[in-house]
Amino acid sequence: MQAATTAIITGGTSGIGHQLVRKVISSGMSCIFVGSSPESVQESLHMLIAANDFPKDSTTKHQFVRGVSIDLSNWPSWTAEQTFKSWEFSPTNCIIGPFTTPLFNVSPRNPCGPSQKYTYSLLVNCAGITQKSLTHRSTTIDMARIMNINLMSLMSLTQLSVRPMLKSQRNSKATSPIIVNVASYLGHPDTHILPGTAIYAASKSAVLQYTYSLRPELSRLGIRIEAIAPGIVRGTKMIETLPPDSQKSLLHAKPHLQTTPHAVADLIWSIYCSSPV
Ligand SMILES: NC(=O)c1ccc[n+]([C@@H]2O[C@H](COP(=O)([O-])OP(=O)(O)OC[C@H]3O[C@@H](n4cnc5c(N)ncnc54)[C@H](OP(=O)(O)O)[C@@H]3O)[C@@H](O)[C@H]2O)c1
């Protein structure tokens, strides 16, 4: 029997991550997405149920989508927790939860039908926050939040994924696992500098360097790791919660760098689909 595949996506409650969750579900894959709070996870799950992206054929039989609440700003505390509050939905079961389960349990809570193997084949580190004030006005707590969510949690999730990905690979030869880290064009050293983005840019620059430096280590294990650096993604909370003046000047100054959550989700999906099988 062919193994079913599961993706884990952080930042899946909003913007790019949410579009990607929808794309993954419509492909027939199962998906575990992470949001910062029980409220955002449940709201997102209800939006996914309403959108009804599950394919209308027999492949949906084993498919499930699970929302997991982890506040990634609480790094490193969250890494010591064994289980997390979760809610789950599948086309054959109504919404269940809350229940607690390990993040890397990539099988459904209530399996239906004959036993089915699940493999962990995709991690997308998409959760991120931006900087809300000029750098000299940012507090130590602001700096820690940005670094903990954008960089430290991304590195921990990458590290923690290696064993379960290798185990999946051993049990099913079908998939070549891949990790995609979402950085930003602001992380490139030759980018035009924007005031009030130094801490954010530092976190994203580190994400790019971490990804490139880790690639040879993981490639020896048969795991691919990639980073993407989107420009300005219109229609995301990240852009819409900027002060109106900053939003206006950003959107006017950089029309060539503008993109959409759909386009970025498509790019991530094409990277996954180009993974050697
Ligand atoms: N928007 C842009 O112009 C742009 C450009 C380049 C790169 N990016 C990067 O793209 C990624 C996605 O951003 P987006 O534009 O889609 O922004 P968004 O709509 O604001 O989404 C941010 C996501 O991060 C999650 N998140 C924030 N704080 C968290 C925490 N403490 N714990 C767990 N999750 C947390 C949010 O979860 P909750 O909703 O549950 O809080 C949400 O799902 C980020 O890494 C961002 O840096 C964005």
Q: Which domains, and CATH codes, for the chain?
A: 4-273 (3.40.50.720)
Give the H/E segment covering residue 121. strand 118-125
State how far the Cα of 82 lies from the Cα of 196, in Å rounded to an integer.
37
Q: Is the CB of 192 under 6 A from ligand 1?
A: no
Nearest CA to ligand 1 atom 6: 184
The number of the ligand 1 atom at minimal distance from the alpha carbon of 12 is 43
How many residues are present in the chain?
277
Residue 128 near residue 11, CB atoms below 8 Å: yes
Q: What is the pLDDT of residues 260-275, one digit of tens each?
A: 999 999 999 999 999 6
The number of the ligand 1 atom at minimal distance from the alpha carbon of 230 is 6
How far is the centre of ligand 1, averaged over its atoms, from the C-alpha of 8 (Å)?
A: 15
Report whether pLDDT(61) > 90.
Answer: no
How far is the centre of ligand 1, averaged over its atoms, from the C-alpha of 75 (Å)?
A: 16
Q: Which residue has the tokens 């503008």?
A: 258
Confidence at 257, pLDDT banded by 50, 70, 90: confident
Share of the chain above pLDDT 70, in %: 95
pLDDT value at position 259? 95
Q: What share of the chain is helix, strand, coil (3-state, %, to 5)?
A: 45, 20, 35
Confidence at 194, pLDDT banded by 50, 70, 90: confident
Angle at 208 between CA 203 and CA 210, to 5 degrees: 90
Point out the least confidently predicted range of 5-9, 207-211, 238-242.
Answer: 238-242
The number of the ligand 1 atom at minimal distance from the alpha carbon of 125 is 45
**Identity of residue 78:** W
Q: What is the pLDDT of residues 27-39, one digit of tens each?
A: 999 999 999 999 9
pLDDT value at position 60? 65
Q: Is the CB of 237 under 6 A from ligand 1?
A: yes
pLDDT value at position 209? 98
Share of the chain above pLDDT 90, in %: 73
Q: Is the CB of 201 under 6 A from ligand 1?
A: no
How far is the centre of ligand 1, averaged over its atoms, from the C-alpha of 102 (Å)?
A: 23
pLDDT value at position 175? 67
Report whether pLDDT(1) > 70.
Answer: no
How far is the centre of ligand 1, averaged over its atoms, from the C-alpha of 255 (Å)?
A: 21
Average pLDDT over residues 210-234: 96
Higher pLDDT, 249 or 265: 265
Report whether pLDDT(139) > 60.
Answer: yes
Nearest CA to ligand 1 atom 41: 36
Point out the least confidently predicted range of 96-105, 130-139, 238-247.
Answer: 238-247
pLDDT value at position 196? 86
Question: Is the torsion defined by CA of 55, 61, 62, 66 positive or negative?
Answer: positive
Report whether pLDDT(91) > 70.
Answer: yes
Report whether pLDDT(142) > 60.
Answer: yes
pLDDT value at position 260? 96
pLDDT value at position 58? 59
Mean pLDDT score of the chain:
92
pLDDT value at position 173? 67
Q: Is the CB of 182 under 6 A from ligand 1?
A: yes
89 DSSP β-pair partners: 65
